[in-house]
Amino acid sequence: MLLYYTPGACSLSPHIVLREAGLPFELKRVDIGTRKIDGGGDYLKVNPKGYVPALKLDSGEILTEGPAIVQYLADQRPESGLAPKAGTLERTRLQEWLNFISTEIHKSFSPLFNPAASADWKAGTTQNLTRRFDWLAPQLGSRTHLMGERFTVADAYLFVTLSWSGHVNIDLGKWPQLTSYVARIGARPKVIEALKAEGLLK
């Protein structure tokens, strides 16, 4: 498999999952600004949507959309426990978390990285994220991971989105559960491997 990624972007989530699952893969860096692939090539020919991640399967098929990709990867190694079994209530709970992260957290960060976004738009977005974090922190409570004691693909995704906070001047220190969660997930060996591979850690 080949993962198209941009360092620190949401593609870091499937990158982490690939390593956690122990699946063989290659990385191909994408410059999202120019839509060019490192070493040459037009990324729009891979993913016409223009954003990462994209996962090229050994069959040549392309998967896009992070929440779909991470579930596919987890299902390739069900013994990893990265996702509950399909058809169970627990799997639906995982999908519930992935949808929340995608629509309420991930997309809420987008205007904060957009230089064309107005100050009012960014202020409203920050307020919205604050409300989401106010809800999220007690949901985590004293749990080690989103779904209890086991790390799942939802944790990889949430870790990545929360890690963006420092880049847009949102202080997670207001939510001790979130800061300890980010530190805990960030200390996982496979997460560290992924961060180093993307040049985000030395």
Residue intervals in the chain for CATH 1.20.1050.10: 89-188
pLDDT digits (tens, 9 = 90+) for 163-179: 999 999 999 999 999 99
| Res 94 pLDDT > 90 | yes
Residue 142 has what pLDDT? 86
For 23-62, the pLDDT digits (tens) are: 999 999 999 999 999 999 999 999 999 999 999 999 999 9
Phi, psi of 37 (to 5 degrees): -90, 140
For CATH 3.40.30.10, the residue range(s) in the chain are 2-80+190-197
Helix (H) or strand (E) holding 136: helix 119-140
In this structure, are residues 63 and 72 in contact, taking their beta carbons and an 8 Å threshold? Answer: yes
The predicted pLDDT at position 141 comes to 87
Q: How far apart are CA 99 and CA 85, in angstroms?
A: 18
Per-residue pLDDT band at 186 (split at 50, 70, 90): very high
Q: Which two tokens stand for residue 1?
A: 């498999």
Amino acid at 158: L
Q: What is the pLDDT of residues 97-107, one digit of tens each?
A: 999 999 999 99
Q: Domain 89-188: give its CATH code.
A: 1.20.1050.10
The per-residue pLDDT for range 113-163, each reduced to its tens digit, is 998 999 999 999 999 999 999 999 999 988 999 999 999 999 999 999 999
Q: Look up the CATH number of domain 2-80+190-197.
A: 3.40.30.10
